[in-house]
Amino acid sequence: MAVIEFKKVNKHFGTGSARVHVLKDIDFSANAGEFVLILGPSGSGKSTFLTIAGNILSPTNGQVFINGKDISTYSTKERESLRLTDLGFVLQSHNLVPYLTVKEQFELADKVKKSGNLTPDNLTGLLEQLEISELIKKYPEQLSGGQSQRVAIARALYTDPQIVLADEPTAALDSKRVKVVGEILHHLAKSQNKAVIAVTHDLRLVEQADKIYELNDGKLTLKN
Amino acid sequence: MYLALKEIKHEKLRYSLIISMIVLISYLIFILTSLALGLAQQNTSAIESWNFKQIILNKDSDIALRQSLLSEKQVEALKIDNNKEALIGQASIVAKSSGKENISANFIGVKKEQFLYRELKLSSGKLPTTSHEVVVDSSFADKGYKIGDKIYFNSLKTPYKITGFVKNAKLSVAPVVYGLLSAWPELKSVTPNFVASALITKNNNYSVPSSELGSYSKQTLIDNLPGYSAQNKTFTFMIAFLMVISLIVIAVFLYIITIQKLPNFAVLRVQGISNKFLIKNTINQSLILVISGLAIGALLAMITAIAIPNSVPMSFNIPLLGLVSLGLIITSVLGSLIPVQTILHIDPVKAIS
């Protein structure tokens, strides 16, 4: 069963002559254990797609299902709760709090989500898998771009979400690092049975993806 | 609280500067409050020590003890219970003694058989027993006067002997010299038919037999002391304005800090962290900053209190300073509520490219 599904999702911004149709009749689904790539150039609607998948914005019309539940009509509080428990985000800005060490980034998650987070042993395993165990006491400003990205992935997975949404996860990384990040996202989809959805314009990630969609001018098409 | 503490720990310089600013504001408020209280006490400490409810003054005195005169006839008409009523005579004097600084003071004459005489609290020595013996405020001791010293008042040639010292005996910022009422007419230079300045009573409902006399509360007497109300209002306004300024300064700083953190807050909102958590964090942070600033400001004020010379009329009243601190904490919480509106409008979409 699809853990996340879009049915005829449309999104408009603005009104009157300034009205822009950003997403057009989007049908999309991702299953647990899949690494799904949404490819598209700038302005194609990737970020809007991600904000709707991430339950930050509501579609103008159409339905979005997470674990079979229609979330299109959720209240702000229900959306926050869903984002906290079922969704993990890896953002271009690395979603790390600048004044917290790597270890404290996980402690913050414990403060806001009291249960269901990774156990210390599981976290240790994840950090080893991402090769960032030795960075635990460092602040984000002391990390390289690649290290920050891997810490952000670990942070996104710490709350044990079913769906991981990644926004341009390879932005500003060299080819070698792009491959590593691609492998990590692919591996965590398989090893942890997560649905990993990455929106990007970076074609270097296609090798690791299970499913590739292309978003062009608001229309989503499955490429493989 | 978690985020607040971690951020302060990481951004030491930034938050130290903010705390320093709060330290300076709170220190200034503490010092001004203590100065206001000290000056107020120098106006009223003698009156406060008399332990009375009503004062009977001549109506023509404009509720001023130093302008009031009671004639023998008026006093005879007054019902006086020595345990509840006491006559007092006030005279402005200049105390002199060879080799010592002249001191402008208030002479207060009392009667031995009345409660005020019995209730005078001496810090040393003994009460006067003859009309040429006096007990004086302890500030006389600071200027070299001792028990047994002979002092002269105004241009009078007859010496008075100091038999003791009284603590905190000040009236209209001048030290008080207590003597017997029998010495008062000479010091006041009044004709013998005037026998006192006023009658004080412990009775709340003392009935005044003459239309020439008026009965006033202790507070009314204090409020009518020359310059007292104006001085207090000035200090109150200064402290109130400082409070308002501190509210604005704290609010501006917190607003700027919050604006700088908006990108981080947007990311946290994406992750499902609620506005409530972020707002609580912001308010807690301002509380930590203000309480730290207040604690350091209070410590500095205490050091000042120890170091400052006795001649500076400062009084450190812990409950009052506690109240001022509470006022500052409340203003800081109000200040921290201003950026809350900004937090409520954080758009998590902005965290997504």
Residue A129 has pLDDT above 90, yes or no: no
Put simply, whether the predicted model's pTM sits higher than 0.80 gets the answer no
Instruction: Give me the pLDDT at residue A172, please.
Output: 65
Residue-range domain boundaries for chain A? 2-223
Instruction: Give me the pLDDT at residue B262, please.
Output: 83
The angle at the Cα of A13, spanning A7 to A14, to the nearest 5 degrees, equals: 145
How many beta-carbon pairs below 8 A join chains A and B?
Answer: 73
Sole residue written with tokens 């604005």: B248
Q: Please provide residue A27's backbone torsions phi and psi, each rounded to the nearest 5 degrees.
A: -115, 130
Contact between A82 and B11 using a beta-carbon 8 Å cutoff: no
Residue A209 has pLDDT above 60, yes or no: yes
Task: For residue B6, list chain A residues with Cβ-Cβ distance below 8 A.
Answer: 99-100, 104
Half-sphere exposure of A93 (CA within 13 A, CB side): 18
Evaluate whether B110 touches B86 at the Cβ level (below 8 Å): yes
Residue B190's identity, in one-letter code, is V
Name the residue facing B6 among A56, A87, A100 (closest C-beta).
Answer: A100
According to DSSP, residue B80 is labeled: -
Contact between A84 and B273 using a beta-carbon 8 Å cutoff: yes
- What is the per-residue pLDDT across A61-86, written as a single tens digit (0 to 9) for each? 999 999 888 887 788 888 888 888 88
Instruction: Give me the pLDDT at residue B283, please.
Output: 87
Burial of A87 (0-12, 13-18, 19+ CB in 10 A): buried
CA nearest neighbour of B119 among B220, B38, B30, B48 = B48
| Strand pairing class (A2-13; A163-167) | unpaired
Evaluate whether A96 touches A104 at the Cβ level (below 8 Å): no
Contact between B10 and A99 using a beta-carbon 8 Å cutoff: yes
Evaluate whether A113 touches B287 at the Cβ level (below 8 Å): no
Interface check for A151 against chain B (CB to CB < 8 A): the answer is no
Instruction: Give me the pLDDT at residue B23, please.
Output: 93
Q: What percent of chain B has pLDDT over 70?
A: 99
Alpha-carbon gap: B348 to the closest alpha carbon of chain A (Å):
7
Residue-range domain boundaries for chain B? 2-43+229-352, 54-203
Six-digit token string for A116: 């269901």
- What is the per-residue pLDDT across A143-177, written as a single tens digit (0 to 9) for each? 988 888 889 888 888 888 999 998 888 876 777 77
- What is the per-residue pLDDT across B266-297, written as a single tens digit (0 to 9) for each? 888 888 888 888 888 888 888 899 899 999 99
Instruction: Give me the pLDDT at residue B169, please.
Output: 92
- What is the per-residue pLDDT across B83-94, written as a single tens digit (0 to 9) for each? 999 999 999 999
| Strand pairing class (B103-110; B160-166) | unpaired
Name the residue facing B277 among A54, A99, A112 (closest C-beta).
Answer: A112
Residue B136 has pLDDT above 90, yes or no: yes
CA nearest neighbour of A57 among B260, B351, B273 = B351
CA nearest neighbour of B346 among A13, A76, A105, A60 = A76
CA nearest neighbour of B338 among B263, B249, B272, B271 = B249
Alpha-carbon gap: B352 to the closest alpha carbon of chain A (Å):
6
Average pLDDT (B95-104) is 91
Contact between A99 and B11 using a beta-carbon 8 Å cutoff: yes
- What is the per-residue pLDDT across A81-105, written as a single tens digit (0 to 9) for each? 888 888 988 887 667 888 999 999 9
CA-to-CA distance for B267 and B249, rounded, in angstroms? 28
Residue B122's identity, in one-letter code, is L
Task: Please tell me the CATH code under which domain A2-223 is placed.
Answer: 3.40.50.300
Instruction: Give me the pLDDT at residue B252, please.
Output: 84
Contact between B352 and A108 using a beta-carbon 8 Å cutoff: no
